[in-house]
Structure 1
Amino acid sequence: MNQITTTTLEDTRCAARERHRRRRQQLRTEERDNIRLQRRTILRQQVNNMTEEDRQRYLQNERARQRERRNNMNEAERQNIPYYFVGDMSLISSFRRALRFREALNCCQKGKVSLPPLQDYPPQLQRLLEGNDQEAFNFRSNIRNYNSSFSFASFGANIVRPPRRGPYCFRLQGQTYHYSSILHPNNEEERKYGQIYICDSSEANQLRCNLPKNNECIQSVFETIAKVMENNPYAQAYKNMRAIELEEEARAIRENVKPRRGSMNFTAGPDIKRFNNPINNEIGVAFVGEDGAPPANRDIIFYPHSQPKHRISYLSCHLDPMIYPILFPNGEHGWHINMQHRPERQRRVRNKVTMQEYYSYRLAIRDSFSIIHRSSKLFQQYVVDAYVKVEGCRLNFIKSHQSQLTAAQYSGETMRSEQRDEVKQYLSCRYVSPPEAMWRLSDYKMHGQSHVVYRLAVHMPGEQQIYYQHGQAEQAIQQAQQRHTNLTAWFELNQNDITANQYFYCDIPHHYVFNKTTTKWTKRERSSNLMTRMYSVSPNQGEKFYLRILLLHVS
């Protein structure tokens, strides 16, 4: 007990010295800032007293000195900080003729993934992307607004611009939301998204121009896009729904009855496994039923009036063409869960194309014209949205399979588990920008590892962490009673091996290796780059906290 008290007092003295050191450093920093502020004030007065010619010469020289200083700093960073180089984008995939970096993985997973090319892009829109006239410049500058005006569903996200000035960057915080709405707005609301498609073309263009976000857009560009969208199968589905709705209203007037409730159902289509291009009567099925009940195979459903908006699932093949009509004006299907690998490359298990594999293939650079890569600001949104959907599916699996992914603490015959919504906390704190999204979708390495981090358990008798699958708690308890942790195995090692008595618990991995099969420490035969870390313990945990202190200072 005396040893514990002495150690605790020493830790308290160290903490006090650290606080004094930080306070002295803070005072020095404040003094340095005050001196800099005084110098800047004097310098500003001197510059204001200069003539215009001397002032311009001084500012020019100052900018040159700042550039030289930045170049010297960048050179020092290049010399001192190692960086990861993926090589030049000069290699061509032998399977799908896509350019890739030397260290990058193959976009088609070595021939497993083969998607049909997108249909020919309309020449009217291609001119807006590549032209040099006023309409083309305006279209490229406001491409996200034009896309949003013609989209069939809403795209919701918390977009946070990076601080300070610089080139445009689509940075997102949290997650994205995609909603479809009813066919007619409620009360005095303005029409938007898919609701505009049931209007006459001239009225629809006027509605789009009148939206507050489109103040900088040009009406002639709206007319060009609207003409192209007349062949879009989703736009035709909305037109069909409006025609059936008018027919039903006319029938009700003739027969003097109340109109039957209708709805529009977007199905996946019968041939979706073969990646066929969408057909109008497969995408939009407009029907009138006695009770308005949707069919059993519905994917997305729209009601004419008085229904809440519907969130579109990440797993829907209609999501991309409905959110990005500028990228997919022909309405090509996006990713869906039934996409299969090429038959000649299939194996016994895992033969479906994952969402990440799909977007990695679509975003690969090839010799042909790519609307996705040419879409400027919309390309950034598409990439970030794609990665958020990929990550969202993974996090949703973790969240929905908590009963199968269980970690708990074993104490005698009791199990205690913490239930925290870590997924929600993670999403609310993370930011995603296009470089990171593209890097992760391409499955590049996010980090390297120079040392192995060896985590050492700290627990009281019978309170070690155990992991088990749903329904196997009792079996996990029995196994925990028969197996050692690296802490209890260290106690046993010190009883059987006298040479181990000279090493602290945190140093033992440098000289011994923990065998997870036998749960025993054995002599290390060759050295390894590793770092040891003991799990942190709060002082509120009493004896467990003091046990950790003993393990740090007593061998």
Structure 2
Amino acid sequence: MPLTLPPPLHEPEIPLAATNQPLPTEPLLLPPAHYCPKCNAKKFAYESPAFCCGNGEVEIATNDYPPELVRLFTSQDEDALHFRKYARLYNNMFAFSSLGGAVDAKTEKGIYVFKLHGQIYHYIPDLLPSNETLKYLQLYFYDGQHEISNRLGCFPELREDVINILMDVTKTNPYARFFRCLKEMNIDENTQIILNKNTVPDQRVYNSPTSDEVAVIWPEATSSSESSNPHILVSGKSNKSHMIMHYYGCYDPLQYPLLFPRGDCGWNQGLKKMSTGGRRQIRVQQDPVQSCAVHTAEDLLSKEAIRATTGRTNTDKHISARQYYAYKLQRRPNNLLLRAGRCLQQYIVDMYVKVENTRLDFFRNNQDTIRADLYQGILDTVERGENSAANVGHRVVLPPTFIGGPRDLKKRYLNAMALVQRYGKPDLFVTMTCNLNWQEIKQELAVGEEAQNMPDLVSRIFRAKLLALKKLIMQKHVFGEVAVMIYVVEFQKRGLPHAHFLIILTPASKIKTPADYDKFVSAEIPSVESPRLRKIVLKHMMHGPCGKLNPNCPCMKRTGNKEHCKSGYPKQFCDETTTNADGFPVYKRSSTGETVPIRRANLDNRWVIPYNPYLSSLFDCHLNVEVCSSIQAVKYLYKYVYKGHDRISFNVVRDGERGAVDEIE
């Protein structure tokens, strides 16, 4: 379908709020948070009623946490502080399954962040260890008389007194009770147990599962442990891995026993919606017939998309993974899940991948619904660089409706370039980065909590501030009348969210000469007459130091035998704003002789990142504003904001073997 563009805008010139208004004396504060009347979840500014509970349609019952675990997660006791620092290690030590994936443990600079590359897998080990090293569920029963000493040997950072407390806590866990009972048995290579995939009782009378419900001993041989089987078979010794699939209800409690100490079942495909009193209400209830069903279109597509692709309406019967975890991760009173610190970061990453897997499951099993035949033509194949006739025809397609996929990013890029064709090059490039010291973040933290361990809070407050900036640009015209604006949100490798804006102004508000640049952008340290702005710029808008002052700075890049800053710092002094030979702006940077101590170095105006004084004073964060003076930068900028994740695509095949192209794989 061709892109329909609005007619060009020709409004009269209006005052520029960013240059005519005095600098704010206080930072912008968001409206006070309020509570959802349906589910009592805290809602921040600009959040929709459906964000937490589907406007009253989602309700999930939970069990209370053991008092000792509550103390470890919330108190300021010495052992509790130690526990929260190493919460992820303690959880992994008591976990029944292993987490597979390429974990990046390097946190040399910036805040702590849990990073994992590629796919995530959960595995259950054999009942008997392959060597003398015990791991995961084996620690519960193998050499059970020495469980404490065995666990102490897992990680040198852990303490015996905390392990004793957690062993008492796990006495209420049905999985722990079951595996500990195996110490009374003689486990050999022929011993087999069966774990139930889904142990969800009726949520209207939500009870914790019992050890009899989660697993049984299976003395007879069985054929396989394929995903079509309603159970997970674990052998004493085997040559294959026992994988916990993302749609199993036991996926969460087996990997996160400290977050689900009662063995609460997580999301699975059998969670159904129920209708009460004429108004739909979602309550979690197991349907054994549907427990292994493939996702329906209603789970993963909006009603509009369903109408367009299938002609059906109002047929949403199951709760999706995204709806489930959106409910679970809300800030409600006594929601201890959000107090789990670094363990919470791993859990959120894991569950995000689970949500993405459910979306990919839908696309894989509904290729006809998404009209995959439209993407399998010869022209599409040639455009993607395919040079083998064997791959022309059938392929598994990842459509543009998969957010973040290559077709989605290409579609957005082409739409953005169409706007440039219509309205001209962008005038301003704005980058906004979250500030962990924003008042709205700090006031939500309990005593002893750190913002870096609250990724949900950081992301939601940043989104609210981002929308406030968007309103200032579009409605308050801080840069003048805006014809077109695009923006995209990314997450830094060191954990903080940031957004890139590309703004095209109307003809009357265009920045036409280098002399106009100074109305919007400054690249100098503010004078002492503006102490608040000066403090903000010195804190957020000073680059580096890098180069000879700090050769290990992340911005350093090697070209041949030389190392240089990829951003070109330190810049050159300049008495007035000009443009260089390539058409890029060279901002005014006066040689005043003033230096300020920044990160163990004395820096001057050459190290200032360009900023807008009005917006920096208002938002108190890293807010970079650049003028796009050259048409040469247009294509690069739009590709940059829509580049997507750092990724690589590859496929492993045998020599001479040709298989169907699978874009999801």
Q: Which residue does 2:355 correspond to in 1?
A: 390
Question: Within the alignment, does 1:329 sit opposite 2:261 as a pair?
Answer: yes
> For the Cα contact (< 8 Å) 2:96–2:136, is it kept in 1?
yes
Question: For residues 76 and 98 of structure 2, what CA distance do their matches in structure 1 show?
Answer: 30
Question: For residues 223 and 152 of structure 2, what CA distance do their matches in structure 1 show?
Answer: 34
1:317 to 237, 249, 256: 249
Q: Which residue does 1:236 correspond to in 2?
A: 177
> For the Cα contact (< 8 Å) 2:83–2:162, is it kept in 1?
yes
Q: Which runs of 5+ in 2 are unaligned?
A: 1-17, 281-312, 380-388, 410-451, 475-482, 487-633, 640-665
> For the Cα contact (< 8 Å) 1:260–1:291, is it kept in 2?
no
Q: Which residue does 2:340 correspond to in 1?
A: 375
2:129 to 185, 190, 193: 185
Provide Cα deviations, 1:118-172, integer angstroms capped at 9, x if missing partner. 3221121222223333322211111110000000001123233577522211123
Question: Within the alignment, does 1:151 sit opposite 2:95 as a pair?
Answer: yes
Provide Cα deviations, 1:57-89, integer angstroms capped at 9, x if missing partner. xxxxxxxxxxxxxxxxxx99xx99xxxx99446
Closer, same or farther: CA 434–335 of 1 in aligned 2, 3 Å:
farther
1:287 to 218, 224, 229: 218
> For the Cα contact (< 8 Å) 1:201–1:226, is it kept in 2?
no
How far is 1:266 from its partner?
2.1
The DSSP-based 3-state class of the residue aligned with 1:356 is helix
Provide Cα deviations, 1:96-135, integer angstroms capped at 9, x if missing partner. 111112311230001111000x322112122222333332
Structure-to-structure mapping, 1:207-286, within 5 angstroms: 207-211=150-154, 214-243=155-184, 245=186, 261-269=191-199, 271=201, 276-286=207-217
Question: For residues 270 and 142 of structure 1, what CA distance do their matches in structure 2 show?
Answer: 30
1:97 to 37, 40, 47: 40
How far is 1:202 from its partner?
4.8
1:127 to 71, 92, 95: 71
How far is 1:279 from its partner?
2.2
Closer, same or farther: CA 123–436 of 1 in aligned 2, 3 Å:
closer
> For the Cα contact (< 8 Å) 1:319–1:334, is it kept in 2?
yes
The DSSP-based 3-state class of the residue aligned with 1:192 is coil
Provide Cα deviations, 1:337-369, integer angstroms capped at 9, x if missing partner. 121234223394112111111111111111x22
TM superposition score normalised by structure 1: 0.55
The DSSP-based 3-state class of the residue aligned with 1:343 is strand
Question: For residues 294 and 178 of structure 1, what CA distance do their matches in structure 2 show?
Answer: 15
Most deviating of 385-394 and 143-152: 385-394
Question: For residues 408 and 420 of structure 1, what CA distance do their matches in structure 2 show?
Answer: 9
Provide Cα deviations, 1:397-435, integer angstroms capped at 9, x if missing partner. 324444652313368xx99458588799979xx9xx988
Q: Give the aligned residue type for 1:184.
A: L
Question: Within the alignment, does 1:340 sit opposite 2:272 as a pair?
Answer: yes
Structure-to-structure mapping, 1:502-521, within 5 angstroms: none
Question: For residues 382 and 333 of structure 1, what CA distance do their matches in structure 2 show?
Answer: 15
Q: Which has the higher contact order (CA 8 A, sep 6+)?
A: 2
Q: Give the aligned residue type for 1:263.
A: I
Over the residues paired in the alignment, what is the CA RMSD in angstroms?
4.3
Closer, same or farther: CA 443–265 of 1 in aligned 2, 3 Å:
farther
How far is 1:374 from its partner?
0.9
Structure number with bigger Rg: 1
How far is 1:438 from its partner?
7.7
Most deviating of 297-306 and 441-450: 441-450
> For the Cα contact (< 8 Å) 2:345–2:455, is it kept in 1?
no
The DSSP-based 3-state class of the residue aligned with 1:97 is coil
How far is 1:372 from its partner?
1.1
Q: Which residue does 1:111 correspond to in 2?
A: 56
Structure-to-structure mapping, 1:152-171, within 5 angstroms: 152-160=96-104, 165-171=109-115
Aligned length, in residue pairs: 355
Closer, same or farther: CA 285–342 of 1 in aligned 2, 3 Å:
same
Question: For residues 308 and 93 of structure 1, what CA distance do their matches in structure 2 show?
Answer: 48
Closer, same or farther: CA 359–227 of 1 in aligned 2, 3 Å:
same
Question: For residues 190 and 201 of structure 2, what CA distance do their matches in structure 1 show?
Answer: 31
Provide Cα deviations, 1:307-366, integer angstroms capped at 9, x if missing partner. 422121110110111111111111111111121234223394112111111111111111
Q: Give the aligned residue type for 1:147.
A: N
Structure-to-structure mapping, 1:413-452, within 5 angstroms: 416-417=392-393, 419=395, 451=484
Question: For residues 393 and 221 of structure 2, what CA distance do their matches in structure 1 show?
Answer: 51
How far is 1:437 from its partner?
7.6
**Larger fraction in helix:** 1
Question: For residues 165 and 272 of structure 1, what CA distance do their matches in structure 2 show?
Answer: 47
Most deviating of 158-167 and 193-202: 158-167
Closer, same or farther: CA 92–309 of 1 in aligned 2, 3 Å:
same
Alignment identity in percent?
25
Question: For residues 436 and 265 of structure 1, what CA distance do their matches in structure 2 show?
Answer: 33
The DSSP-based 3-state class of the residue aligned with 2:137 is helix
> For the Cα contact (< 8 Å) 2:225–2:232, is it kept in 1?
no
Closer, same or farther: CA 96–297 of 1 in aligned 2, 3 Å:
same
Q: Give the aligned residue type for 1:190.
A: T
How far is 1:387 from its partner?
1.1
Structure-to-structure mapping, 1:14-29, within 5 angstroms: none
Provide Cα deviations, 1:282-313, integer angstroms capped at 9, x if missing partner. 11122212557779853322111224221211
How far is 1:264 from its partner?
2.6
Closer, same or farther: CA 129–181 of 1 in aligned 2, 3 Å:
same
Closer, same or farther: CA 308–291 of 1 in aligned 2, 3 Å:
closer
